[in-house]
């Protein structure tokens, strides 16, 4: 199948709950014959955005680090799955710092007024968000979801929803959730077929 799915593991904790959800998602897709790729933010060597606005002149970041590779992979993907935990009612800091480094895409589109894909838009770029958080507040995923939606919007990726799981905090707790893995399977298979 020609659809390529990029999974981005945003958690600082190896084999944590969102890692487990994402790995299950990618294995489900691989078993159906889809091409997948996994990038773990915690393994990248990068610095946070400097807020220097150099990208508004060139569309490129002045920092040369692993974010360049991630940007290339984001542009190459047909589907994207961001998986990240909730820390203090928002997306975790490591993932947020990576999203902030996507500012050159925003500058490219909205300041320099250039298309992300000069040869024409890619067909059907879609993405979802997988998350888990330790509390049970009704708006637990709202702030994180806004960050992911904005990331996807800047990258011309249509946001297709969130699989978010409350009261999941300790590593491995997601394994005890009665529906999480089935829901993720259904969501990612629907995502791939769009």
What integer pLDDT is reported at residue 1 of this predicted model?
54
C-alpha to C-alpha distance for 92 and 84, rounded to whole angstroms: 7
CATH of the domain at 107: 3.40.50.360
Count of domains in the chain? 1
Its domain, for residue 164, covers 4-193
> Does the pLDDT of residue 121 top 80, yes or no?
no
C-alpha to C-alpha distance for 185 and 189, rounded to whole angstroms: 6
Instruction: Supply the pTM of this predicted model.
Output: 0.96
Q: Give residue-wise pLDDT tens across range 57-92.
A: 999 999 999 999 999 999 999 999 999 999 999 999
The proportion of the chain whose per-residue pLDDT surpasses 90, expressed as a percent, equals: 93
What integer pLDDT is reported at residue 148 of this predicted model?
99
What SS3 class is residue 160? Answer: strand
What integer pLDDT is reported at residue 117 of this predicted model?
86
Contact 6, 77 (CB under 8 A): yes
C-alpha to C-alpha distance for 165 and 187, rounded to whole angstroms: 14
Length of the chain in terms of residues written: 194
Q: Give residue-wise pLDDT tens across range 102-111.
A: 999 999 999 9
> Does the pLDDT of residue 183 top 60, yes or no?
yes
Q: Give residue-wise pLDDT tens across range 25-51.
A: 999 999 999 999 999 999 999 999 999
* CA distances in angstroms from 98 to 1, 27, 78, 113, 161, listed in the order given: 29, 24, 20, 23, 20
């Amino acid at each position: 199948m020609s659809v390529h799915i990029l999974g981005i593991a945003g958690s600082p904790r190896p084999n944590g709950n969102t890692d487990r959800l994402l790995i299950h998602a990618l294995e489900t897709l691989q078993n159906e014959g889809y091409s997948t790729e996994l990038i773990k933010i915690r393994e990248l060597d990068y610095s946070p955005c400097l807020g220097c606005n150099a990208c508004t002149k060139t569309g490129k970041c002045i920092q040369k680090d692993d974010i360049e590779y991630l940007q290339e992979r984001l542009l190459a993907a047909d589907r994207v799955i961001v998986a990240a935990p909730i820390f203090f009612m928002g997306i975790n800091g490591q993932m947020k710092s990576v999203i902030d480094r996507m500012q050159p895409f925003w500058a490219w589109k909205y300041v320099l007024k250039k298309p992300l894909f000069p040869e024409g838009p890619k067909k059907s770029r879609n993405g979802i968000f997988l998350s888990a958080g330790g509390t049970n507040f009704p708006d637990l995923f709202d702030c994180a979801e806004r960050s992911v939606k904005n990331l996807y919007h800047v990258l011309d990726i249509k946001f297709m929803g969130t699989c978010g799981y409350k009261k999941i905090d300790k590593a491995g707790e997601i394994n005890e959730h009665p529906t999480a893995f089935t829901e993720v399977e259904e969501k990612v298979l629907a995502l791939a077929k769009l």
